[in-house]
Chains A and B, each alone.
Chain A
Amino acid sequence: MLTSIISRQIWHLSRRWSIPRAVHRLRYGALVGGLFMALTGGCSSDAINPHLRNTFLNSNDLIAMTDQMAASLASSPTVNQIAAQGPLVVALTPLKNETNSIITRGEGAAFLHRVRLLLAGHTSLRSKFVFVVSLHQLSSIRTQSMPNPVGPGRLIPLYALQATFYADTQVAPKIRSDYYLCTFFLTRISSGQIIWQGSYETRKVVHSSFLY
């Protein structure tokens, strides 16, 4: 109804006065509007902010955490005492995720394998640790190619490097915070005794902005 009233008013005025100047001005507006539409709208332009924020563990945490764990493990007096008698044969076990964030198997493996790579990367540490594939991976390999990989030369892991991540999550309509406690531990498989442990803590908070 309002649209028809405006149309009638425009028609009425156009009969009384010539308004080409106003129409001419509208061309500027149309141009600016069109340009604005092209810049902001449309289905083809990138809309996702590359600097979006969340409370997930990210690659910075991965690097900081694994650097810290590798250094702690390498300098542990207990580990060094055992390593003095011969290298530790260590199996990696899958990450245990007790957080409220999804950590895919690949992401979880990255946390443990980076520690392994850091330990294997140093010449002085290489002789202390021998990493072997887990029995689960071994059975997978066996079904693929090897008929019987558990032969006389097979190294039996005596230690297991494990990691469990925990989180305390608080959620309110405009805020979410995740306090993470990421624990790593080296256990003697036969006794279950923990011979080394390290932890990494971080707290992540995001406040939702005006338009989330």
Chain B
Amino acid sequence: MLKRSITDTDTSPIRSGGWMGRIGVVAVVLSTACMAACSDSHFRVREATELYYSGQYRQAAAVLAPLIKKPNSDYVLNNCRYGSCALAGGNLNHAENAFLTAYRIMNSVDTNTGSRVLGAVVLYDGFKVWKGQPFERAMAHYYLGLIFLIKGEYENARAAFQNSLFRLRKYSRPGRSLPPAERFARTDSNFTLGYFCLGLCNLKLGHPNLANADFQRAESLKPSLAAVIARMRQPQTNALIFGDYGRGPVRRPAGMYGQQTVFTPAPWQVGPPPPLVVWDNHHRVRGVGHSAMVNTLALAQEKRWLTMDTIRQAKAVVGTGMILGGLAASSYGSYHHDQTLALAGLGASLLGAAVAASSQADVRYWQMLPRTVYVAPIQLRSGPNVIRVAAGGQISPPISVNYSPSTTYRVFYVRLP
């Protein structure tokens, strides 16, 4: 009987090379093309990351440049990566464009096409357009604000920093018994860097009351910043150095099927950030040692994006259940010589394996994020200044500045490897 049924299928379109066969060929060609494109992207990202951490920022940006035009699911992520490289390489306009692209999509909804949503839910979480974890979004807004700050565009800088704080707002579970307004106020952002920079912009835009409130908020979140804020507000302070140091958190899969993600290392594994050292014309600048504004390793531990996590967990549980149930049915059928039950059980367990496999989490992340951001207020002297910045045994290349008192407030960015 089985033999006859096989003979029946001999006339199927696949065997006869009909439309199903053609679809198969097209599918294979498309899949191959997609895989080739993916592998090229992965290779470029890996190469750019290596170049970035060896201090070759412009080369890293050049490697990533072809990727930032492709509107695929990594579009935002690649623009963030490219923006980091361009900023560290001193190309402010390119960095601004890249972070503006990321900003526009991060602040939009209905970002994914219908097929992407379906693919993300049914097959793989990574099909959806990457917008990052809340701390990654906050950092993207911070970099955009920093670029505007360097350019002296305080209004846009303020808008960017304000949005970095919006990105980290949350509803906290413990406060659900509180009325919504109070709950919201109590769980405002804890992004110290955002508050500090917002205060700076408000100060420069002539809103001292708003600036005071922002600085107070930053200080209450991180009391060690009091000295830095006081120094920044001194009238003789005429420049700020923003320094990135170290590697940010690495995203890895966890759980039986990789359905969860974790960011490593945890802050306690690596200890506190090293103190910052700044020299201006070979004179050590005092009072900037404890100017670490943000620790991305700590921020990364506060995952607040749970929608897809729940789906993945459910898929893992359902998949495991189908595998076990299918295997039990298959064994029972096999023992009782029930071929239909055995095959059905096997099919169910295979389907369960597929469901469980599809619960794998998206582990894309922004490799160029720093571990710590320092902000050092300094007083430039009239005439030529040579500034150097160091932390954790890493020293920046010298920054040469010819300062005249008529020049406006100066903002510099350095990347320590």
* Residue tally, chain A, CB below 8 Å to B: 63
What are the interface flags for A168-179 relative to B under an 8 Å C-beta threshold, 1 for contact and 0 otherwise? 010111001000
> Quick check: is A64 within 8 A (CB to CB) of the other chain?
no
> Quick check: is B266 within 8 A (CB to CB) of the other chain?
no
Distance of A207 Cα from B127 Cα, bound (Å) = 21
CB of A2, distance to nearest CB on chain B (Å)? 5
> Quick check: is A149 within 8 A (CB to CB) of the other chain?
no
> Quick check: is A21 within 8 A (CB to CB) of the other chain?
yes
What are the interface flags for A151-171 relative to B under an 8 Å C-beta threshold, 1 for contact and 0 otherwise? 000000000000000000101
What are the interface flags for A20-63 relative to B under an 8 Å C-beta threshold, 1 for contact and 0 otherwise? 11101001100100111111111111111101111110000000
> Quick check: is A141 within 8 A (CB to CB) of the other chain?
no
Let me know if B346 and A56 touch, CB within 8 A.
no
Q: Chain A residues with Cβ under 8 A from B156's Cβ?
A: 97, 102-104
Given A9-B331, A53-B108, A102-B159: A34 and B27 within 8 A (CB)? yes
Give A51's nearest chain B residue, CB to CB: B110
Given A12-B334, A21-B2, A206-B109: A100 and B153 within 8 A (CB)? no
Q: Chain B residues with Cβ under 8 A from A96's Cβ?
A: 155
Distance of A59 Cα from B141 Cα, bound (Å) = 23
Let me know if B110 and A52 touch, CB within 8 A.
yes
Let me know if A207 and B31 touch, CB within 8 A.
no
Give B184's nearest chain A residue, CB to CB: A172
> Quick check: is B262 within 8 A (CB to CB) of the other chain?
no
> Quick check: is B307 within 8 A (CB to CB) of the other chain?
yes
B window 13-43: CB within 8 A of A:
14, 20, 23-24, 26-28, 30-31, 33-35, 37-38, 40-41
> Quick check: is A13 within 8 A (CB to CB) of the other chain?
yes
> Quick check: is B68 within 8 A (CB to CB) of the other chain?
no
Q: Chain A residues with Cβ under 8 A from B71's Cβ?
A: 46-48
Let me know if A47 and B339 touch, CB within 8 A.
no
Which of B103, B109, B166, B171 makes the CB contact (< 8 A) with A212? Answer: B109
Distance of A45 Cα from B105 Cα, bound (Å) = 17
Q: Chain A residues with Cβ under 8 A from B14's Cβ?
A: 27-28
> Quick check: is B74 within 8 A (CB to CB) of the other chain?
yes
> Quick check: is B131 within 8 A (CB to CB) of the other chain?
yes
Which of B74, B163, B339 makes the CB contact (< 8 A) with A43? Answer: B74
Distance of A74 Cα from B113 Cα, bound (Å) = 44
Q: Chain B residues with Cβ under 8 A from A173's Cβ?
A: 169-171
Let me know if B24 and A34 touch, CB within 8 A.
yes
> Quick check: is B349 within 8 A (CB to CB) of the other chain?
yes
Q: Chain B residues with Cβ under 8 A from A55's Cβ?
A: 107
CB of A189, distance to nearest CB on chain B (Å)? 20
Given A9-B346, A49-B111: A43 and B31 within 8 A (CB)? no
Given A9-B331, A12-B334, A47-B73: A41 and B170 within 8 A (CB)? no
Interface centre among B121, B129, B356, by most A CB within 10 Å? Answer: B129
> Quick check: is B193 within 8 A (CB to CB) of the other chain?
no
Let me know if A212 and B131 touch, CB within 8 A.
yes
Let me know if A10 and B346 touch, CB within 8 A.
yes
> Quick check: is B116 within 8 A (CB to CB) of the other chain?
yes
Which of A31, A51, A206, A210 makes the CB contact (< 8 A) with B23? Answer: A31
Q: Chain B residues with Cβ under 8 A from A48's Cβ?
A: 71, 75, 105, 111, 113, 129
> Quick check: is A19 within 8 A (CB to CB) of the other chain?
yes
Let me know if B73 and A6 touch, CB within 8 A.
no
> Quick check: is A105 within 8 A (CB to CB) of the other chain?
yes
Let me know if B35 and A53 touch, CB within 8 A.
no
> Quick check: is B230 within 8 A (CB to CB) of the other chain?
no
Let me know if B160 and A102 touch, CB within 8 A.
yes
> Quick check: is B11 within 8 A (CB to CB) of the other chain?
no
Let me know if A13 and B6 touch, CB within 8 A.
no
Let me know if B327 and A5 touch, CB within 8 A.
yes
Give B131's nearest chain A residue, CB to CB: A212
Q: Supply 25 A–B pairs (Cβ within 8 Å), ascending by A.
A: A2-B356, A5-B327, A9-B346, A21-B6, A31-B27, A37-B31, A38-B31, A40-B119, A41-B124, A46-B72, A48-B71, A48-B75, A48-B129, A49-B113, A51-B110, A54-B107, A56-B107, A102-B144, A102-B160, A103-B155, A207-B109, A209-B109, A209-B110, A211-B116, A211-B120
Residues on B lying within 8 angstroms of A by beta carbon are 2, 5-6, 9, 14, 20, 23-24, 26-28, 30-31, 33-35, 37-38, 40-41, 70-75, 100, 103-105, 107-113, 115-121, 123-124, 127-129, 131, 144, 148, 153, 155-156, 159-160, 162-163, 166, 169-171, 184, 307-308, 320, 323-324, 327, 330-331, 334, 339, 342-343, 346-347, 349-350, 353, 356
Residues on A lying within 8 angstroms of B by beta carbon are 2-3, 5-6, 9-10, 12-13, 16-22, 24, 27-28, 31, 34-49, 51-56, 96-105, 169, 171-173, 176, 206-212
- 15 more contacts with CB within 8 A, not counting A36-B123, A43-B40, are A9-B327, A38-B30, A40-B123, A40-B127, A41-B34, A41-B119, A42-B30, A42-B35, A43-B73, A52-B110, A53-B110, A97-B155, A97-B156, A102-B156, A211-B117
